[in-house]
Structure 1
Amino acid sequence: MKFNNLQSCHLGPEISPEQFIPEHFFLFLLKGSMISYDGYKHYRMNPGDYCIARKNHLVRYTKYKDDGKFEKVIITFDEPFLRKFLERHSYTAGPTDNDNSFLFIKEDLLIENFVRSLEPYYNGTETLDDDFVDIKREELLMILLKNNPDLKDIFFNFNIPHKIDLEHFMNQNYKFNISLERFAFMTGRSLSSFKRDFKMIFNMAPGKWLIKKRLQEAYFLLEKEDKKPSDIYIDLGFEDLSHFSFAFKKEFGVSPSEIARA
């Protein structure tokens, strides 16, 4: 499949830059490749692949450019849009046991033609007005539901996360750089109950525990896996190398580069 003239574009609300998916979105990769990790599985995308990224999931992305470019089409299906869609179309969500963060869609000529139909509107200067954006989003949603009926159980389930095992979840997802409010939401708790339950389980405040846990993992990677500080700090939830180095030395009394050289 060739989409040589189509550049990156985005229909619908912007996606949060943090490692949390707040709304479902359709992703079509035009150029470059991408590997994503949700704490459980790795997902790889190549040019021409398309999928649904699911809301209320934690994901870390690693993007690889091709000839200096990484081009994609992102179309967000936010909850207000989906609820308006249900006012005109009759769908009922049922239970699903599929918990994958990315749902890959089989090759579909209708989807590929839909993506091509966006080309005239994205030449670097033109944009779609708001009314037309919703029309195009509805067109894509109907195509997806026609050929993948089980997606209704994903799109139209508006339940918030239920209360889950806090200890297991945090030990699995401590590397993700998200706020305590997000952690609380994803474990089915208010922020106050999250902090209270966390202290009971770990005997430590969540912010302090997250730093300590990430630094312990960093020490292991530096000492046992011969990793470099610059290779691991982002994956461990630190925003910059200097913050990571400062916290590491405060915890262990030596800099991460000293451990790496030992």
Structure 2
Amino acid sequence: MRTIADDTRTNILGEQFIPDHVFIYLAKGAIRVFDGNKSHTFKAGDACIARKNRLAKYELLDSKEGFEPILFCFDEPFLQEFQKKHGSEQTYVASTDTFIKIPNSDLIKSFIKSVKPYYKGVMQLDEAFEDVKYEELLIILLKSQPGLAAVLFEFRKPGKIDLEEFMTRNYKFNVSLNRFAYLTGRSLSSFKRDFKTIFNDTPNHWLVQKRLEEAYFLIDKKNQKSSDIYLSLGFEDLSHFSYSFKQSFGMTPTELTDKKKEASR
């Protein structure tokens, strides 16, 4: 069962790896997304495709009207079946963006309105209408933006890419080494071996140190609080972050802040 959702704390907000292509429509609220290269802000009425096999961070923005996204996850079996049925061709060069904005249109608005009667439970579609509505949405998307075919119907696994560039850009993402290996087109053993050759360090140690160095910079130079940055830097627990920070720099984030204040007097 594929699902859509409009809950204020949807699972996708907690995900940093996008396993399937996702159509996102914001019925209410606003969200900021970051993919390691670019930041995008989407507001009520905006729609986009979040590409599979990408990393992303999501930040809910304050909104009096609440937050209501509508999500459609296009998994590979459905897309392959759709392509066989409709014969969609990849005649365009695929976009490299993680988030591809979908232009506002009457077709999209009418479709979103038409889905409402079929909501069931936590934003699941009634099974009797599920495939029909997914197919309808995909036809609308390809009609309004034919270039999406090159993105949606690309079924190859990620190829081997520049490991140093990828890790330097994506070290803040809190995902497993298996995931990093997959996204760089390597087995886990090959990833660790190449990593050691390039960085002369183990992935786990390098990731922690890189994140801590960034934390020190943000606290020391940008006057940010540890409680505001530890999650965005890939740490799951504030106390563990503070402990690791002290192990590396001989002082806790709070002590660094106090030291700065004392020096400025």
The CA RMSD over aligned residues, in Å, is 2.0
TM-score (normalised: structure 2): 0.89
| Separation (CA, whole Å) in 2 of partners of 1:192 and 1:123 | 44
The alpha carbon displacement at 1:65 in A equals 4.2
SS of 1:75 mapped into structure 2: strand
Q: From 194, 197, 211, give the equivalent of 1:197.
A: 194
| Separation (CA, whole Å) in 1 of partners of 2:13 and 2:122 | 24
Q: What pairs with 1:54-203 in structure 2 (closer than 5 Å)?
A: 54-67=51-64, 69-94=66-91, 96=93, 98-122=95-119, 127-203=124-200
| Separation (CA, whole Å) in 1 of partners of 2:91 and 2:162 | 24
Which region of structure 1 is more displaced relative to structure 2, 252-261 or 183-192? Answer: 252-261
Q: How many residues align?
A: 253
Q: From 4, 9, 16, give the equivalent of 1:19.
A: 16
Q: From 210, 229, 232, give the equivalent of 1:232.
A: 229
Structure 2 regions of 5+ residues with no counterpart? 260-265
Look up the match of 1:30.
Answer: 27
Look up the match of 1:249.
Answer: 246
Render the CA deviation track for 1:82-135: whole Å, top value 9, x for unaligned: 011122110233562521111111111111100001122338688533342111
| Separation (CA, whole Å) in 2 of partners of 1:210 and 1:256 | 18
| Counterpart AA for 1:177 | N
| Counterpart AA for 2:59 | T
Which region of structure 1 is more displaced relative to structure 2, 174-183 or 122-131? Answer: 122-131
Look up the match of 2:42.
Answer: 45
Which region of structure 1 is more displaced relative to structure 2, 127-136 or 46-55? Answer: 127-136
User: Cα–Cα, structure 1 residues 125 and 40, in superposed 2: closer, same or farther, change >3 Å?
Assistant: closer
Q: Is the 8 A contact 1:233 1:244 kept in 2?
A: yes
1:258 aligns with 2:255: yes
TM-score (normalised: structure 1): 0.90
SS of 1:93 mapped into structure 2: coil
| Separation (CA, whole Å) in 1 of partners of 2:57 and 2:258 | 28
| Separation (CA, whole Å) in 2 of partners of 1:161 and 1:199 | 21
Look up the match of 2:262.
Answer: none
Q: Is the 8 A contact 1:25 1:75 kept in 2?
A: yes
SS of 1:162 mapped into structure 2: coil
| Counterpart AA for 1:250 | Q
SS of 1:72 mapped into structure 2: strand
Q: Is the 8 A contact 2:17 2:55 kept in 1?
A: yes
The alpha carbon displacement at 1:17 in A equals 3.7
